[in-house]
Structure 1
Amino acid sequence: MTQSGNGAKRVFISTGEVSGDLQGALLVTALMAVATEQQMPLEIVALGGNQMAQAGVTLLGNTTAIGSVGIFEALPYLLPILRLQRQAKRHLKANPPDVAVLIDYMGPNLAMGQYLKAKHPQVPVVYYIAPQQWVWAFSDRDTRQLVDQCDRLAAIFKAEADYYRQHGAEATWVGHPLVDRYPSPPDKAAARQQLGLDPNAQVITLLPASRRQEVTYLMPVMLQAAQQVQARHPEVQFLLPVSNPALGAAFEQGLVQYDLRGQVLAGQSTDAIAAADVAITKSGTANLEIALMNVPQVVAYRLNPITAWIGRYLLRFDIPFVSPVNLVVNQPVVPEFLQWQATPAAIAAATLDLLENTTTRQTMLAGYAKMRQELGEPGACRRAAQLTLELIPNSGD
């Protein structure tokens, strides 16, 4: 294996979207800490985003704004993804890594894994935060492809590790990295002070979109639901933290269009969630963050109607839950409203129930406690980092 001029070991990481950038940054921090303890100089290059860059990575391309869910939704991103992957492949050809880590981002990472095994078969590949095939696999084909491409799989859910082991992967359950980030719920009063909010105000945080398609299909429904809540509680304040800066203008326009009392925040998602009495959120990793912060939530999601129809009637796509909070315990801890059920009235009614009904809130918080127990012990990022660095040869060959 070719080493860099300073003797550092090379790590390549591939991920996409805002959530992958967060998980990548947490892993990079752990990799550097473990490598320092082992006196192993590291050079980390990646397809990722700004959070990974801030953690010390050299970005080969920024993938945070390139992401979608659904068939038609993915089409506009095919060429940008291919372009970024070509850039990464050129770098890897000239500078082969000592180990590669693929994080989530299923379609692009299956393509990257295929490239690595074909052109750099000597490079060990770790898949971290594997696609949730154990929940919604249409067939075993993608699962077999993933297992063939990775030497080790670092699973964040126990059911994930069990599923991939059954399909022949060398899988290790490392636990969920967000447990490290939120070892205990943050202080609501401190978050409100940080944001300049009245400590006694009613606050609802809206997390409608990190992808462009969600601005189109989900955000209007969520803002209409907020309108209905505001009609019953005129004093309520809404917070809209922006995780993808490209969507900031759309958030501002939405707030004005639906005449909502509130503000758009650049970043500050953690404070915005911690300050809330209730969060109304799209499904995804944010659901786990909100739960670990002990904030009651309502989950909704909508796709392009044609994509949804194909999934339901042609592909027979049917899963018990989509929110990771519910999936972890296989129980309806948080209310989910998907596609045709995701109406303003339904979302507003569930939000009002959480605002006004102490029993509903307490039941959800008890479900959160059960979920936390199922996410594993603290140290997930460190365990994933150790597993990754173990695969690096001690000396070049």
Structure 2
Amino acid sequence: MKDNSLQGTRRFRVFISTGEVSGDLQGALLIKALQRRAADLGIELEILALGGDRMEEAGAKLLGHTSAIGSMGLVESLPYVLPTLKVQRQAKQYLRQHPPDVVVLIDYMTPNVAFCSYFPKHLPHVPVVYFIAPQEWVWSTSSFNTDRIIAATRKILAIFQEEANYFKRKGGEVVWVGHPLVDRVQAAPSRAEARFSLGIPTDQTAIVLLPASRQQELKYLMPVIFEAAQQIQAKLPNVHFWVPLALEKYRWEIEQAIADYGLRATLLDSNKGQTTLQAIAAADLAITKSGTVNLEMALLDVPQVVLYRVNRFTAWVARKILKFSIPFMSPPNLVEMKGIVPEFLQDEATVENITQEAIALLQPDRRQKMLADYQEMRRAVGEVGVCDRAAHEILDLLDYDRS
């Protein structure tokens, strides 16, 4: 390893690659943990990243901004191919001139699996860690990505026990650390605190709507979610909706949709200190896209209805040609492969289904059943300190004891 000494203090370079809003959040949590661990070890870190604003705020130097160029599906990914290739090319050029001491890949399947081919070939002495690997343990498809990941990585840090078991069976070096959201929700306010800060009366029914963290979701998910909200509003005159904003660039479209559907809704404004975590903590229910945020809701004991849709051609290819099949899609259900929250995928994601489930989950019996299932699930996602455990495993690969 190269001599990275700096005025008597060992200095190491860490490269982290992730994308989309959820990856940016998880990357920021990890960066803070890496910095804590580095301080304990008496070393300094230079953190380079492909990521977003949260990671930059946490202390990373961004080599490319990737939080807004993610997609899910075949047709949906086409507009992002060139931007993704561009930021990866920029990162590779920089890293060839400034080699990292360790590489951490977080989620972001296609670009990061490509890195699994790149680093062993061009920077073979740099250890690679994959944190939150692609979910081939869930999909009924080939293990092509799994094989590439195992061949490229020194460690796989698993967030689910079933994920850890899968990669171990395939021959990977795996450590189960738990899910990083276990750490994040420690900062969440109580329900009473969240309602007070958002000005929600104690007797008001508050429903969080999470329609989009990707551009495609504004087209495929927001209309069905907002129409279901419209129907719920007609049945429950005391309801008010809260809509977190994943990215500022979505503001105009969401504001326009709220007006078009005539919803009694508030779009959260981070400039006023209104956060997604606050809205979730204050809510009686969430109607949400499938994603990492589903687990956040479960950890905060908020009942939820989950849905996802993609382009019809993408869905047809996945089903008929790739034979794509999943038992579950949302993280709360994946923890123990058990149906805890209702999921509606593609043609099942109808206004009627969503409305019916939402109304049912506002009733005490259904709510209590889901909260009991959440409690059982919580034991399987790891103890607090997930990101610190991950940081320990990552920095343990550095030769920081060498004089």
- In the superposition, the TM-score normalised over structure 1's length comes to 0.97
1:295 counterpart = 2:302 = yes
Does the 8 Å contact 2:19/2:51 carry over to 1? yes
Match of 2:57 among 48, 54, 57: 54
Match of 1:347 among 325, 342, 354: 354
* Identity fraction in percent: 52
Q: CA deviation at 1:165?
A: 1.0
- In the aligned structure 1, how far is the partner of 2:245 from the partner of 2:186? 24
1:101 counterpart = 2:107 = no
Q: Report the residue type matching 2:100 in the other structure.
A: P
1:274 counterpart = 2:281 = yes
Which residue does the alignment assign to 1:176? 179
Which residue does the alignment assign to 2:39? 36
Q: Report the residue type matching 1:319 in the other structure.
A: I
- In the aligned structure 2, how far is the partner of 1:209 from the partner of 1:86? 28
1:26 counterpart = 2:32 = no
Q: How does 1:1-397 map to 2 (within 5 A)?
A: 1-4=1-4, 6=6, 7-183=10-186, 186-267=189-270, 268-355=275-362, 357-394=363-400
- In the aligned structure 1, how far is the partner of 2:390 from the partner of 2:127? 14
- In the aligned structure 2, how far is the partner of 1:283 from the partner of 1:227? 20
Describe the superposition over 1:169-222 as per-residue Cα deviations: whole angstroms up to 9, x where unpaired: 101101111112224974112111111222221111100100000000111000
- In the aligned structure 2, how far is the partner of 1:183 from the partner of 1:237? 26
- In the aligned structure 2, how far is the partner of 1:266 from the partner of 1:117? 44
Does the 8 Å contact 1:186/1:293 carry over to 2? no
Does the 8 Å contact 2:43/2:400 carry over to 1? no
Does the 8 Å contact 2:140/2:323 carry over to 1? no
Does the 8 Å contact 2:140/2:326 carry over to 1? no
- In the aligned structure 1, how far is the partner of 2:79 from the partner of 2:33? 34
Describe the superposition over 1:356-390 as per-residue Cα deviations: whole angstroms up to 9, x where unpaired: x1000000000100110010122111111001001
RMSD between aligned residues: 1.5
- In the aligned structure 1, how far is the partner of 2:3 from the partner of 2:350? 56
Describe the superposition over 1:282-327 as per-residue Cα deviations: whole angstroms up to 9, x where unpaired: 0110000000011111001110011111112222212111111111
SS at 1:319's partner residue?
coil
Does the 8 Å contact 1:104/1:130 carry over to 2? yes
Q: Report the residue type matching 1:213 in the other structure.
A: Q
Between 298-307 and 189-198, the greater mean CA deviation after superposition: 189-198
The alpha-carbon distance between structure 1 residues 35 and 195, as it changes in their structure 2 partners (threshold 3 A), is same
SS at 2:148's partner residue?
helix
SS at 2:250's partner residue?
helix
Q: Number of residue pairs matched?
A: 396
The alpha-carbon distance between structure 1 residues 258 and 3, as it changes in their structure 2 partners (threshold 3 A), is farther
- In the superposition, the TM-score normalised over structure 2's length comes to 0.95
Describe the superposition over 1:5-63 as per-residue Cα deviations: whole angstroms up to 9, x where unpaired: 73410000000000000110111011000110000111101001111111111111110
Q: Report the residue type matching 2:103 in the other structure.
A: A
Q: Report the residue type matching 2:357 in the other structure.
A: A
- In the aligned structure 1, how far is the partner of 2:256 from the partner of 2:264? 13
Does the 8 Å contact 2:29/2:387 carry over to 1? yes
Q: Report the residue type matching 2:59 in the other structure.
A: G
- In the aligned structure 2, how far is the partner of 1:113 from the partner of 1:266? 38
Describe the superposition over 1:320-358 as per-residue Cα deviations: whole angstroms up to 9, x where unpaired: 111111111222111111100000111011001112x10
